[in-house]
Structure 1
Amino acid sequence: MPLLQRLLDFGLYACGTVRVNRVGFPKDLKKPRELTNRGDFKILQHGDTNLTATVWKDMRLIHHMSTLSDPCDTRDAQRRFGREVLQLRQPHTVFAYNKFMGGVDLHDQFRAKYSVGSCSKKWWKYLFWFCLNCAIVNAHIVYKAVLTRPTKRKRFTQLEFRQELLRSLIGGFSKRKRTTGGVVFKPLVDTENISGHVNVRMPGARTT
């Protein structure tokens, strides 16, 4: 709740689900007894601001917080129960969240599928791996949008992108020590003079 208020002060609107044990969430919305039927909801508004807390009963209780919805605005919702189609009412907060949540959920799904790094209790390590994974996912999205690949496959999966990314980053690196110090020497015999010759073993004792 303090975060949403802070964002609203900067002119940034937000909407999303919330856990009922979060600091500042109204106690009256945690487990309201009056919401017995599917489609029932309850909304609380913080003063005269746009900050609202909402609980809506679908199959279970769903809690939202928003700074972009009118608390008096409700929308139609359809839910299927067996062969029967139920006509319900839902707050605008729930409607806006279900309409625009796809991008964030897909990004989290892509990020969790091939996550890089390991869990850590140190916040800076978690932040570092989180930003790195987000950068890889964003690069894959941009890569698919702007690049035309000469391949017969219609899809270019994230795994294929990560494999190409690793090949590009690793390049010709090798863990083995190079005695030449990375300098490439010219061969003693030119490759064009090798054709037509046959390697044979010379007679006599081998000398060093």
Structure 2
Amino acid sequence: MKHCEVKYCQDGGLTTATVWRDKGKIAVLSTNVTRTMIPLQRRGPGRLIQFITPSPVIVYNKFMFGVDLADQHRLYYVMGRSGLQWWRYVSWFLFQTAIMNSWVLFKLRNNPALKNCHQMSQIQFQLDCVPLLLQDANLESVAPLTACQPQLLILQFLILGDTSPFIFRN
């Protein structure tokens, strides 16, 4: 593909796959964006460079600021080793993604009694989750939550479907 070249593939009008070449190939799947090109300007050495960009890439950059935050946070503290077997890679990927989603939910909850827990770092959250993940605990018999127990809060939510400990922001 040449620079700024775009290829689209649409499945029944619902899902659109877009491949665009800027500095490298960028592939995007979207369901809410049309196949349009939007003219943009980028600062170059001493001048403005004009080019066109597919609308799915514009929408992605608008909300993600050009960085995939999920991958960025997941790769700060990598757990496990992927190996060459595909199933090992997939299992570690899913495990790391579940831990990251749990950390994000933990940081988003709005509970005044646990105010100092909002500052918990990602690595501290992961270290606090280890003991509970290693033991064979029956979560239905766990004592009520105290101070900073993110692992119990998240696992209770994920396993039992009990959302009572969470107070989400609007």
For normalisation by structure 2, the TM-score amounts to 0.56
- The equivalences for 1:20-31 within 5 A come to 31=1
Return the alpha-carbon distance in structure 2 between the equivalents of residues 103 and 55 of structure 1: 15
State the superposition RMSD in angstroms. Answer: 3.6
How far does residue 150 in structure 1 lie from its aligned partner after superposition? 4.6
Please, which runs of 5 or more residues in structure 2 have no aligned partner? 136-170
For normalisation by structure 1, the TM-score amounts to 0.48
How far does residue 86 in structure 1 lie from its aligned partner after superposition? 3.2
Return the alpha-carbon distance in structure 2 between the equivalents of residues 116 and 127 of structure 1: 13
Give, as a single letter, the amino acid of the residue that structure 2 aligns with 1:160: Q
How far does residue 51 in structure 1 lie from its aligned partner after superposition? 4.1
The structure 2 residue matched to 1:99, chosen from 62, 66, 71, is 62
SS in 1 for 2:75: helix
Q: How has the CA–CA distance of structure 1 residues 56 and 93 changed in structure 2, closer, same or farther, with 3 Å as cutoff?
A: farther
Give, as a single letter, the amino acid of the residue that structure 1 aligns with 2:96: N
SS in 2 for 1:115: coil
Please, which runs of 5 or more residues in structure 1 have no aligned partner? 1-30, 172-208
- What corresponds to 1:55 in structure 2? 20
How far does residue 43 in structure 1 lie from its aligned partner after superposition? 3.6
- What corresponds to 2:52 in structure 1? 89
Return the alpha-carbon distance in structure 2 between the equivalents of residues 140 and 167 of structure 1: 16
Q: How has the CA–CA distance of structure 1 residues 81 and 118 changed in structure 2, closer, same or farther, with 3 Å as cutoff?
A: same
SS in 2 for 1:113: coil
1:76 is aligned to 2:39: yes
Please say if residues 56 and 90 of structure 1, whose CA atoms lie closer than 8 Å, have aligned partners that are also in contact. Answer: no
1:128 is aligned to 2:91: yes
How far does residue 101 in structure 1 lie from its aligned partner after superposition? 4.5
How far does residue 46 in structure 1 lie from its aligned partner after superposition? 5.9
Give, as a single letter, the amino acid of the residue that structure 1 aligns with 2:102: A
Q: How has the CA–CA distance of structure 1 residues 103 and 83 changed in structure 2, closer, same or farther, with 3 Å as cutoff?
A: closer
Return the alpha-carbon distance in structure 1 between the equivalents of residues 11 and 100 of structure 2: 40
Q: How has the CA–CA distance of structure 1 residues 45 and 131 changed in structure 2, closer, same or farther, with 3 Å as cutoff?
A: closer
- What corresponds to 1:23 in structure 2? none
- What corresponds to 1:41 in structure 2? 5
The structure 1 residue matched to 2:125, chosen from 148, 154, 161, is 161
Higher helix share: 2
The structure 1 residue matched to 2:27, chosen from 42, 49, 64, is 64
1:138 is aligned to 2:101: yes
Render the CA deviation track for 1:16-63: whole Å, top value 9, x for unaligned.
xxxxxxxxxxxxxxx34xx5xxxx434455698564544344xx2434
SS in 2 for 1:133: helix
Return the alpha-carbon distance in structure 1 between the equivalents of residues 11 and 95 of structure 2: 40
Please say if residues 20 and 27 of structure 2, whose CA atoms lie closer than 8 Å, have aligned partners that are also in contact. Answer: yes
Render the CA deviation track for 1:117-169: whole Å, top value 9, x for unaligned.
12223333333222221111111111111155453x97321012123223555
